[in-house]
Structure 1
């Protein structure tokens, strides 16, 4: 067991004027299972890069351990899984590798398969196994859940719960709660560490916020009261000072003493007021002002928005979906769940394709929108307007103004939604390509929220999106109850939002 000590850490990216970290100091125990949380763009991945020594900074980072980062970059996906492992960790022991794979519910026959043929979930598990072959390193695990289905998340959650000595970035509340024993939070003005899981941190933060809001209101009243009292006392002092020179004053010495005493009292009240003002300045700095979002859905004249009958989807000779039938009716919020490769995204794409809707959010513009064959029937209501959020953000570029113009959005409304999702004004002029992954996903979500649509189709909308924003989105969906069909792996989100669940297998 040892300590990682961060002292007066200050960092800003070259060419920017706003520091991501400024004079930050704290300590981490290398035995902790540390959950790392904070709004998108606050610097979680940047901090990991600082620990790895990838970026120059002011201050000091002292550690007696080496750092290792997940996910690894795989240069050649055409190699077998074993060759990929050997390239990343040439000094591994085969028995130890097999042990890690077994704990991740992977058979060792996977080692002979070409890495590119593995599912995203299998790749994630293999790369995590490599990470934990390096037993003496302190591990930096950056969002391992983004390509994991519900079963995969449960497996990885159980795996990490048995490990220690890492920092874990994840926005999945249940996932964090099951694993971590400490929380490292990047707040608006500082970084804090607390013992406990994510739920206990959220509860403590809520208590702290409530205390600060109550204390702020109390100090506001005190400041007003003390200000009025100081004015009155000073007025009495001035009056006493003037009256000591009147012809009717018998004892001018006593009158002068009374005036001085009142003035001294007025100064003491002013000092108390100034202290209250200073105390007030220390409050509310880290309260996350999460303003309510407002989705622009419109009702359709038909009660049935979409009918899917006997739908089958095939990739060449491979059947992805078979004989699927369901309806989407007004007010439904249907969650599509299932293991990786079960056809969740294919179902959404089949719906879009059948209704003649181009996947404008696709980065593969030169390739066909749908690379599969469908049979069956998908029928949408007449003049049905759909808003789609894709998994993919790689196509995003240009300024937010450019994006709003391209998609015929009200720029002010669009930027207002992003502000509510914790975008700072300085972000508005930056190229979207340089946003964090969570901020890019928020661009797609804000666009969809601003769309005047009947039906919302969202494909893994919460990938990389921070927890507080997820809560905002949940509250919006529960309040406005738009009609939607979505794919998501955040169990808490599914439980809170879905009115119906379709499980593909």
Structure 2
């Protein structure tokens, strides 16, 4: 064990964030801390590194182990360059190298015992230098910088001139190069593009030390971590495995807890009904039994109702009208900024019902394409044509569609004037805005809160073509899953830009990769894209070379036709579009056989289940009929018992001794029968 948290508690004011949190992490283990926004994940990391003091509990780190921490936000003001900032981490190695070079010069003029001492020192330093990978420090720095998305032209750029995201990447690079025994990372994938995230995944997977991560990137967590520590309502629970394994185990546990709660509630209602009935019998034994059951209920440990995963935010996306089959057609699209060409001659189409993800590195122009489709930017060249009955709903990652000076309530009321106050409040409540929250101004909201307002407007738009720019930014994992579910069940068309690979994998039916100034098409989700990426890019480069060759020949012949710049977008790359071949056909055949076997087994199992259900229903029906018969018999005997009580008060009866004896005997027999019936009723009622 390299790190242990024991009974960590932390409160801010009256709000208790962490409640006796305990967990441990083994040496070389890769662990993640997960939970909804505000669960206390960052707070826990700050307590571990000593930036915050816990109200209660302790953090224990194995003796002699070093710890490195990357916070979410970095505020670096250094005037040094990016390269020199990372070079500073290697200062001890540089000093050691200088010491070795100095010794080499000194040994040329030394002799005897002095030379022997120098040789021993030289040998020791060389050994340490090799252990610290001293001969590769330059390539190590360059590799980390390039892995994190910096190009060589940026290495000499001063850190003070960088954006917040770039400063975070510099800080991450310094941390990785320092190689502490324990690395703590708070949202390390923020500000990284897909290639950089993939590089970081591989780096951390192969990292010799221990890694503890707070992240909302589920694909990243699936690949890197082997342990999940969940923070839920201040309580920590540990799960072995990656995020998917945790999610599956959590679903099973939640289902079990919910079932136990519902069973207990059913038992409580049943016991209350039995108690009421026993008291209605108005007999000493029945009343004592009722009191005994009441005592048992009072001692019962009541289970809390588990909160539903999806009860935080409610999204229902439904188009008002169905669009035509051809939703969007883009032809020969081109755009440049400040003399830098993003792309030329982009061609693609979108059909009704598709969910298309546009992916690519930062700065390639993904958001630019969405803005041009929405008319927010003008293309330098090309045509964008919407199909019949297409109504666009736009989600902007910068939330420029929101009016910063308006309140949440006014934002919805002004956009949808037909909605009344109650309807507006209900919609905002579905997105976690209640009470006076609805009168907050947009400008005062956090990024996550603005995202929820934009999603609320998107839901109300009833659009049949959703265009989404980074819709999962600032959303916690639970909210992402809710949005995923809404999009998967959406009957309209979706075109979106996202860096969230798990989200893409769950929702995309097609991927357009914006790379090398063109779009390469993949018919499938993110896993399919990874599988086919290398093949498709090679096919595109070969196609581009052939096109360039043809262009050169036709140019020599005086050809002035349309541009021959190749595109691998929809319809232009048969390999990417079909993805089918004999292998797929064989796989389909095997799948068909497997499906047939499973269908037969399912049908057999269904018959057995149906028979068991019928038998159980018959048994329950018999018990219910028996219970009804007993209740009717009790009612008849109790009525006769009351009649006898009335007769015994009659002077003509209690003065007639034989008649009196006869009624008393009947009453005793009635009471004996009733006692047996009460017990029978109680038994059947269970």
Distance across 2 between alignment mates of 1:187 and 1:412: 32
1:102 corresponds to 2:143 = yes
Q: 2:368 aligns with which of 346, 352, 357?
A: 346
Does the 8 Å contact 1:400/1:428 carry over to 2?
A: yes
Distance across 2 between alignment mates of 1:168 and 1:336: 27
The residue correspondences of 1:54-453 to structure 2 (distance < 5 A) are: 58-64=55-61, 66=67, 68-71=69-72, 73-76=74-77, 80-85=81-86, 93=93, 95=134, 96=137, 98-99=139-140, 101-102=142-143, 106=147, 109=152, 112-114=155-157, 125-136=169-180, 138-163=182-207, 164-188=209-233, 190-235=235-280, 238-240=282-284, 259=285, 264-276=288-300, 278-281=301-304, 283-285=305-307, 289=311, 293-299=315-321, 302-352=324-374, 355=375, 357=376, 370=377, 374-381=380-387, 385-392=391-398, 399-405=407-413, 407-408=415-416, 410=419, 416=426, 419-420=429-430, 428=438, 436-453=446-463
Does the 8 Å contact 2:71/2:185 carry over to 1?
A: yes
Indicate the larger mover: 379-388 or 166-175.
Answer: 379-388
Match of 2:17 in 1: 21
Q: State the secondary structure of the residue aligned to 1:480.
A: coil
Distance across 1 between alignment mates of 2:47 and 2:405: 26
Distance across 2 between alignment mates of 1:422 and 1:67: 36
CA pair 112-468 structure 1, distance change in 2 beyond 3 A: closer
CA pair 336-451 structure 1, distance change in 2 beyond 3 A: same
Does the 8 Å contact 1:143/1:464 carry over to 2?
A: no
CA pair 500-286 structure 1, distance change in 2 beyond 3 A: closer
Deviation at 1:177, TM superposition (A): 1.0
As a proportion of its length, which structure holds more helix? 2
Deviation at 1:123, TM superposition (A): 6.4
CA pair 451-44 structure 1, distance change in 2 beyond 3 A: farther
The residue correspondences of 1:37-56 to structure 2 (distance < 5 A) are: 37-52=34-49
Match of 1:2 in 2: 2
Aligned residues: 461
TM, length-normalised to structure 1: 0.78
Does the 8 Å contact 2:323/2:388 carry over to 1?
A: no
CA pair 337-215 structure 1, distance change in 2 beyond 3 A: same
Per-residue Cα deviation, 1:256-296 (whole angstroms, up to 9, x for no partner): xxx4xx555433322332344x3333x42575536752125
Distance across 2 between alignment mates of 1:156 and 1:162: 10
Which consecutive residues of structure 2, in runs of 5 or more, have no partner in the other structure? 95-133, 516-686
Q: 1:36 aligns with which of 33, 50, 64?
A: 33
Distance across 2 between alignment mates of 1:53 and 1:286: 34
Per-residue Cα deviation, 1:356-411 (whole angstroms, up to 9, x for no partner): x4xxxxxxxxxxxx5x8621122335785432222225985765324434644757
Q: State the secondary structure of the residue aligned to 2:229.
A: strand
Q: State the secondary structure of the residue aligned to 2:239.
A: strand
Structure whose alpha-carbon radius of gyration is higher:
2
Does the 8 Å contact 1:309/1:325 carry over to 2?
A: yes
RMSD of the alignment, in Å?
Answer: 3.7
Distance across 2 between alignment mates of 1:110 and 1:78: 17
Does the 8 Å contact 1:104/1:156 carry over to 2?
A: no
CA pair 84-2 structure 1, distance change in 2 beyond 3 A: same
CA pair 108-297 structure 1, distance change in 2 beyond 3 A: closer
Q: State the secondary structure of the residue aligned to 2:283.
A: helix
Distance across 1 between alignment mates of 2:33 and 2:392: 36
Match of 2:472 in 1: 462
CA pair 183-440 structure 1, distance change in 2 beyond 3 A: farther
Q: State the secondary structure of the residue aligned to 1:309.
A: strand
CA pair 229-453 structure 1, distance change in 2 beyond 3 A: closer
